Chain A
Amino acid sequence: MQSLAAATNENLANLSNTLIYSAMAVYTLAFFTYIAEWTFGSRSKISRTAAALTAKPAAGAKAPEVTVKNAGGTAVLERPKVVVRAAAGARDVPDGPGAHGGDVQGDLYGRIAVSLTVLAFLIEFAGVLARALSVQRAPWGNMYEFNLTFSTTAVGVYLVFLALKKDIRWLGLPLVTSVLLDLGLAVTVLYTASDQLVPALHSYWLYIHVSTAILCGAVFYVGAVATILYLFKDSYENKLASGGKPGTFATSVMERLPASASLDKFSYRINAAVFPLWTFTIIAGAIWAGDAWGRYWGWDPKETWAFITWVAYATYLHARATAGWKGRKAAYIALIAFACFLFNYYGVNIFVSGKHSYAGV
């Protein structure tokens, strides 16, 4: 009976490995398909940004003359439409069409890439599930498992945004690239055949704490990618606005991304939305530490870096809330905050020893 159970577990563990490798294969396919989307998209020559930026003065002087009306006299009356104005002084650049750049073939590849991403996500998810069943606990006992769960969650977040019809397909290529890096690192450097959980990890607070930490990480990651793209797009728009002429490659890529204002808003919303969850994660960790180690806060390196990350994101939110620090400066703070998160995840496990070091490399 016992050996049967052991054999089942072994089979599950092997199945998990196979699934993870399969998922990597499908992610690789998705990666090339996203590249195809970008490549075909570059055929379309669009330059909305320049047009909007140069057309701006004329448009700005005109008062909005909006009398959007009912179609007079008919039985079916049209309801009034709401007109939206960008805040005074904001650059009014339209969002790009996305990686496919309006190209039909590019769009087709983009759709295929998303389907492949969904498939890879499902396979990876099954792999994580098999792993969890094989060790009969949550799949985050060591960095190998943490990496798997983390990338699965990041892709999950991306797919949820897509399902909510958010304009975020442009994130696909950077996301799948880093997922491949993350998985590559997991299966080569971090691979751990099986691992034991010390008794301190037997607490439901652990499940709450680690699962929310992973979710926060995934969302912070999406926010950080959007922030980086914002910085690129913003420089691009600045260059155009000041009469510069960016290279053709930059133009081709940047024109297809959303406007810098949209990217900025998107990354702010994302970061702001998970900040309470990150706060909760730290508090759940403190409660768990209180139960397990007898002190809820002990300046253990992992705790310290969670705190540093928290303060960094709080600094970012403050910077956004006060006038002078919007835009690029705030974006840099957001990136520093994400770097702190990454360091807490990799750096502390690898370079610093502390109470959390049983999490193992």
Chain B
Amino acid sequence: MSNTDTSTGRTSDEQELGAAASQLSTAPQEDAPNLPPALGVIGWARWFWRQLTSMRVALLLLFLLSLGAIPGSLIPQSGTDETKVADFMKRHDVLGPLYDKLGLFHVYSSVWFSSIYILLFISLIGCIVPRTWQFVGQLRGRPPGAPRRLTRLPAYTTWRTETEPEQVREAALVLLRKRRFRAHVTGDAVAAEKGYLREVGNLAFHIALIVMLTSFAWGQLYKSEGNKLILEGDGFSNTLTQYDDFKSGTLFDTDDLDPFSFNLKDFKGTYETTGPNRGTPRTYEADVSYSVGAYGKDKKRTIKVNEPLVIGDSKVYLTAHGYAPVITVRDGKGKVVYSQPVALLPLDSNVTSSGAIKVMDGYRDAKGVAEQLGFQAFFLPTYVPGNELASQFPALDNPVLNLIGYHGDLGVNAGIPQSVYQLDKSHMKVFKDAKGAEVRENLKPGETMTLPNGAGSVTYEGTQEWANFQVTRQPAAGWALGGAIVAIFGLAGSLFIQRRRVWVRAVRGSDGITVVELGGLGRSESAKVPEELGDLAGILYDQAPGAPETPVSDTPDPTAVPAESEGAEK
């Protein structure tokens, strides 16, 4: 075998490997940025398609996609926080309208963002289809024959043996097949290839990406999401009008709402009482009874924070909890004009809450004039003297309700939607006592606050609890999850499996001794290829032991570095 031809330059080197290394991957050929052809519409279309499905453009699109996602994380988005967007618009006269025009308040559904990912999507499909065919072709074909000079390969070994060449090839074929190589004999050598799962993984990954993107888009178009605050004992049925707020995708139809209803029987919250985690919820759950369809049987369930109630495509989540003091308001004559629980909004993790009580009609002041009443409510479920501003614990240990009373016009009839948790005080006057100070009192359950000048009274009767539920419907979530799982495994296969070729050549030399040569080539440079080659050589060497002789040449290749692990010596 000893090859002393030193004139071979690098170019022929590469040409020679070219055939042997061909089709070791299905990555498309990258050609230089070719100029658009002057071939009319079809030529242009073809040129455009080639550009779109080239790796260079795929890179660019990927890059643009991440760049395009940035503004959405820095600028308030109407999809997540409408009020912040309104606030931003108010504060920025120039930027606001500009951002609005550019769709920067809804980046992820804007035209330009969508066009990036749709182009990426098309590029992806345009990339996968030809690669799949190419791969199928490779599976049908056979590994290419050995290059003329195996010494040119990244991993190489050789020895001389007295075993017949045919026997060596036969042994190599058996060995490689046992090692799950696809192997066959061509000419004087065995050609073998392994690691096709890499390509399978890579294709599976890219296809899974398409599945994920599609299910994601589908979910966005048909999704719906609504919130409902429910007091203990109250119920809800899944129709549009029952929601406190409701959002849906563009193709959503009210008929898509799953028909079901449920009642909140009981909310249970217990909290850690000591230690650094004091106040952390230990149990946080809602007992509900629910029924599916118009005449469904009542069933019982407990909904917890991470355990939603699942009905059809809908999921019912427990998202928040708070208190609703039961308030009774009497006018100057002692007539009850208002009596109901008022849900308050929690402000912190110890459920310090605030809200508003609005007595809209039925109330008359001391002089008998119809008027509206409003109370600003501030509530501490656990009041510790000295800490007036914040509750010290989330449970109802020592509840105190602080009220400030107003009278006048609540402004609810002005036609402008109003938050139920806030008072519009622009047309209201605060109640003042004889000294001119605001009337403001801390009430314990059962206590009554008297309004000045015979204006009536407010009683804090007791406390109910409420829970907030979010009902979401996100179709195709299962597909997205399936795609994600396939994507991970595909990715792992594509990154961790090395596709490689091994050739074993055995020829009789002029002195009658068989020369065995082994060469290995990986898709990318890897220490595993020489390691594996060493392993194979070791086993083959045992079957075709070396013939005694003096070394032909002992000058090792200066550019050659011995493999880190010489498998053959293990």
Q: Which residues of B contact A244 (CB under 8 A)?
A: none
| Chain B contact residue count (CB 8 A cutoff) | 105
In chain B, what residue has the closest Cβ to A141?
Answer: B277
Decide: B3 and A63 in contact? CB cutoff 8 A: yes
Decide: B563 and A64 in contact? CB cutoff 8 A: no
Decide: A81 and B568 in contact? CB cutoff 8 A: yes
Residue of A89, A135, A311 contacting most chain B CB atoms (<10 Å)? A311
B125 within 8 A of A: no
Q: Mark A240-252, 1 if CB is under 8 A from B, else 0.
A: 0000000000000
B193 CB, nearest partner CB in chain A, Å: 19
For A70, give its contact among B2, B58, B533, B546 (CB under 8 Å): B546
Assembly CA distance A54 to B562 (angstroms): 21
Q: Which residues of B contact A77 (CB under 8 A)?
A: 545-546
Assembly CA distance A340 to B70 (angstroms): 10
Decide: B557 and A65 in contact? CB cutoff 8 A: yes
Decide: A294 and B58 in contact? CB cutoff 8 A: no
In chain A, what residue has the closest Cβ to B212?
Answer: A283
For B159, give its contact among A69, A202, A265 (CB under 8 Å): A69
A6 CB, nearest partner CB in chain B, Å: 4
Decide: A82 and B566 in contact? CB cutoff 8 A: yes
Residue of B276, B548, B554 contacting most chain A CB atoms (<10 Å)? B276
Chain A interface residue bracket vs B: 35 or more
Decide: A9 and B306 in contact? CB cutoff 8 A: no
For A64, give its contact among B58, B62, B545, B560 (CB under 8 Å): B560
| Known contacts A67-B2, A79-B569; is-contact A352 B59 (Cβ 8 Å) | no
For B276, give its contact among A63, A81, A194, A198 (CB under 8 Å): A194
| Known contacts A80-B541, A83-B562, A88-B13; is-contact A276 B491 (Cβ 8 Å) | yes
Scan residues 47-101 of chain B and give those whose CB is less than 8 A from a CB of chain A: 55-56, 58-59, 62-63, 65-66, 69-70, 72-74, 77, 79-80
Decide: B5 and A63 in contact? CB cutoff 8 A: yes
| Known contacts A63-B8, A315-B59; is-contact A84 B561 (Cβ 8 Å) | yes
Assembly CA distance A317 to B305 (angstroms): 38
B411 within 8 A of A: no
In chain A, what residue has the closest Cβ to B29?
Answer: A323
Assembly CA distance A316 to B187 (angstroms): 42
Q: Which residues of A contact B242 (CB under 8 A)?
A: none
Q: Mark B6-44, 1 if CB is under 8 A from A, else 0.
A: 101010011001000000000100100000000000000
Assembly CA distance A280 to B488 (angstroms): 7
Decide: A80 and B6 in contact? CB cutoff 8 A: no
Residue of A273, A294, A312 contacting most chain B CB atoms (<10 Å)? A294
Decide: A294 and B470 in contact? CB cutoff 8 A: yes
Q: Mark B149-176, 1 if CB is under 8 A from A, else 0.
A: 0011111111110000000000000000
B530 within 8 A of A: yes
For B551, give its contact among A55, A67, A279, A297 (CB under 8 Å): A67
Q: Mark B481-501, 1 if CB is under 8 A from A, else 0.
A: 100110110011001100000
B189 CB, nearest partner CB in chain A, Å: 17
Q: Mark A81-93, 1 if CB is under 8 A from B, else 0.
A: 1111111110010
A53 CB, nearest partner CB in chain B, Å: 13
A349 within 8 A of B: no
A295 within 8 A of B: yes
Assembly CA distance A92 to B108 (angstroms): 47
Decide: B157 and A311 in contact? CB cutoff 8 A: no
B318 CB, nearest partner CB in chain A, Å: 9
B146 CB, nearest partner CB in chain A, Å: 16
A66 within 8 A of B: yes
Assembly CA distance A135 to B14 (angstroms): 62
For A276, give its contact among B107, B277, B495 (CB under 8 Å): B495
B549 within 8 A of A: yes
Q: Majority SS of interface residues in chain B?
A: mixed
B440 within 8 A of A: no
Q: Which residues of B contact A163 (CB under 8 A)?
A: none
Decide: B27 and A311 in contact? CB cutoff 8 A: no
Q: Which residues of A contact B2 (CB under 8 A)?
A: 65, 67
Assembly CA distance A301 to B108 (angstroms): 12
In chain B, what residue has the closest Cβ to A298?
Answer: B80
Decide: B280 and A197 in contact? CB cutoff 8 A: yes
B115 within 8 A of A: no
Q: Mark B274-289, 1 if CB is under 8 A from A, else 0.
A: 1111111100100000
Assembly CA distance A295 to B220 (angstroms): 10
B546 CB, nearest partner CB in chain A, Å: 4
B349 within 8 A of A: yes
Q: Mark A186-214, 1 if CB is under 8 A from B, else 0.
A: 00000001111111101101000000000
Assembly CA distance A85 to B495 (angstroms): 23
For B553, give its contact among A65, A203, A296, A307 (CB under 8 Å): A65
B446 within 8 A of A: no
Decide: B276 and A87 in contact? CB cutoff 8 A: no
Decide: B6 and A272 in contact? CB cutoff 8 A: no
For B550, give its contact among A9, A10, A72, A195 (CB under 8 Å): A72
For B27, give its contact among A203, A307, A321 (CB under 8 Å): A321
| Known contacts A9-B275, A59-B558; is-contact A199 B281 (Cβ 8 Å) | yes
Q: Which residues of B contact A69 (CB under 8 A)?
A: 159-160, 546, 549, 551-552
In chain A, what residue has the closest Cβ to B67?
Answer: A308
**9-residue interface stretch from A40-48, A116-124, A222-230, A284-292:** A284-292
**9-residue interface stretch from B231-239, B333-341, B357-365, B472-480:** B472-480
Decide: A83 and B546 in contact? CB cutoff 8 A: no
A232 within 8 A of B: no
Q: Which residues of A contact B541 (CB under 8 A)?
A: 79-80
Decide: B10 and A89 in contact? CB cutoff 8 A: yes
B319 within 8 A of A: yes
A152 within 8 A of B: no
Assembly CA distance A145 to B545 (angstroms): 61
For B554, give its contact among A59, A67, A195, A354 (CB under 8 Å): A67
Residue of A66, A202, A272, A322 contacting most chain B CB atoms (<10 Å)? A66
| Known contacts A69-B551, A81-B566, A83-B157; is-contact A62 B73 (Cβ 8 Å) | no
Q: Which residues of A contact B108 (CB under 8 A)?
A: 299
Assembly CA distance A195 to B530 (angstroms): 53
Decide: A79 and B3 in contact? CB cutoff 8 A: no
Assembly CA distance A58 to B4 (angstroms): 16
B308 within 8 A of A: yes
Q: Which residues of A contact B533 (CB under 8 A)?
A: 82
A67 CB, nearest partner CB in chain B, Å: 5
Question: Given A67-B553, A72-B551, 13 more contacts at CB 8 Å?
Answer: A64-B156, A69-B549, A81-B534, A81-B563, A83-B560, A85-B153, A137-B277, A199-B305, A290-B474, A294-B308, A294-B472, A315-B63, A318-B62
20 residue pairs from A and B, CB less than 8 Å apart: A63-B4, A63-B151, A65-B4, A69-B159, A69-B549, A82-B563, A82-B567, A87-B525, A88-B13, A197-B277, A265-B525, A275-B491, A283-B488, A288-B306, A294-B470, A301-B74, A305-B73, A315-B62, A317-B495, A324-B56
Going nearest first, the 7 A-B pairs with the smallest beta carbon separation are A194-B276, A64-B557, A79-B568, A70-B546, A311-B66, A294-B472, A304-B73
